[in-house]
Amino acid sequence: MLPFVLYFIAALVIGFHLYELLSLVAYSIPINPLELVAFFGSFGLLIAAYISLFRPRTAAKVALIAALAIWSFYAPGIVNLMRAK
Amino acid sequence: MLPYLAIALLVIATFYSALVSFRERPKDAPPTWLFPARTRRPARIAVGLASLLIFGVIVTWVIRGPQGSRDRTVRFLVPENYTGWVRVDFEIAGSAPLPVEDGQTVTRIPPSGKLATSSTEQFGIEKDRYFFYSGDTLKPIPKSGPGRLIWGRLNGEEQSASGKRTYEEFFVGTEQQYLSQAKARSGTNSP
């Protein structure tokens, strides 16, 4: 159950954060394409959570790919934040 | 808070999935927390039912939006590069009411930083958003975190010749600008 709980909670929290960022489009703020990639990545994490109930190792591979997709958005943000500090 | 939690969970999920993906499970080894066995059928059914419930709640929340909640969602639009105090005076007779777009009250601050409106002040769980505007372009203003530019949010009530009226104020600028402005302000107000 550990992989399911981990992937599921991570997918929900990350997905919600990205949903909030994407919803800013309603205020004419352009979407960063990497936000979309990461958003689909959080879906991948959610799918991995359900796969983990049947095939934990396959789920780990799916989760890793999804996590890398999500990092494509967060990593540049973290680097910029570090530089700003 | 949410971005930090998202990053922390992402780090854990990445390490865990990488470890399970690349590390070989010893043959005939019993299941461990790192290499768990396939989940049992009753647990899978319980997860399925719980998931349906969670997704039902999320879909309902997204569909209902802010109308069904007691949140206060005001969109403050501040002129680009504006620095200083912003003040909104409510219930001023003869002033224009604040427009409402997508269930959110839009407060467009003029270059002077002072706005008077006939609308009444909203109360509720504060979920305000701040933006710099330049023409039709909007840029979000961070109200928390390292790049924070919104400070000293307050609301109050004032007695005037026309009766009681409410107002809101906040400062737009860096922390240093805010602290020096606040110092100057308290110096002006002191006897």
pLDDT at B63 over 80: no
Contact across the interface for B20 and A3, Cβ inside 8 Å: yes
**Of A1, A7, A85, which is closest to B39 when you measure between CB atoms?**
A1
pLDDT at A79 over 50: yes
**Of B6, B9, B17, which is closest to A64 when you measure between CB atoms?**
B17
pLDDT at B191 over 70: no
Return the pLDDT at B128: 84
Q: Between residues B67 and B39, which one has the greater pLDDT?
A: B39
Secondary structure string (H, E, C) spanning chain A: CHHHHHHHHHHHHHHHHHHHHHHHHHHCCCCCHHHHHHHHHHHHHHHHHHHCCCCHHHHHHHHHHHHHHHHHHHHHHHHHHHHHC
pLDDT at B31 over 60: yes
pLDDT at B102 over 90: no
Return the pLDDT at A42: 94
Which residues on A lie below 8 Å from B107 (Cβ)? none
- Tens digits of per-residue pLDDT, A33-45? 899 999 999 999 9
What is the chain B residue with the closest CA to A48?
B17
pLDDT at A11 over 90: yes
CA distance B119 to B94: 11
Contact across the interface for B17 and A63, Cβ inside 8 Å: yes
Return the pLDDT at B187: 58
CA distance A2 to A18: 24
Q: Which residue in the block uniquely carries the two structure tokens 């109308």?
A: B67
| Residue A14: domain span | 2-84
Which residues on A lie below 8 Å from B2 (Cβ)? 13, 16-17, 20
* CA neighbor of A35 nearest in space, from A84, A83, A77, A7: A77
Return the pLDDT at A28: 61
What is the chain B residue with the closest CA to A81?
B146
pLDDT band at B53 (very low <50, low <70, confident <90, very high): very high
pLDDT at A56 over 80: yes
What is the chain B residue with the closest CA to A70?
B10
Percent of chain A with pLDDT over 90: 49
Phi, psi torsion values for B158, nearest 5 degrees: -130, 145
Which residues on B lie below 8 Å from A4 (Cβ)? 39, 47
Return the pLDDT at B157: 83
Half-sphere exposure of B175 (CA within 13 A, CB side): 7
- Tens digits of per-residue pLDDT, B119-175? 888 777 777 889 999 888 888 888 887 788 988 888 888 777 767 778 899 999 988
Return the pLDDT at B72: 75
Q: What domain count does chain A have?
A: 1
pTM for this entry: 0.56
**Concatenated DSSP letters for B33-88?**
SSSPPPPPHHHHHHHHHHHHHHHHHHHHHHHHGGGGS-EE-EEEEEETT--EEEEE
Mean pLDDT of chain A: 87
CA distance A13 to A70: 12
pLDDT at B189 over 60: no
* B185 SS3 class: helix
- Gyration radius from chain A CA atoms: 14
Return the pLDDT at B55: 85
Q: What torsion, rounded to 10 degrees, do the Cα atoms A23, A29, A34, A40 define?
A: 20
In A, what residues contact B, Cβ < 8 A? 1-4, 6-7, 9-10, 13-14, 16-17, 20, 24, 26-29, 45, 48, 50, 52-57, 59-61, 63-64, 67-68, 70-71, 74, 78, 81, 84-85
Contact across the interface for A28 and B75, Cβ inside 8 Å: no
Contact across the interface for A56 and B20, Cβ inside 8 Å: yes
* A59 neighbors A52 (Cβ within 8 angstroms): yes
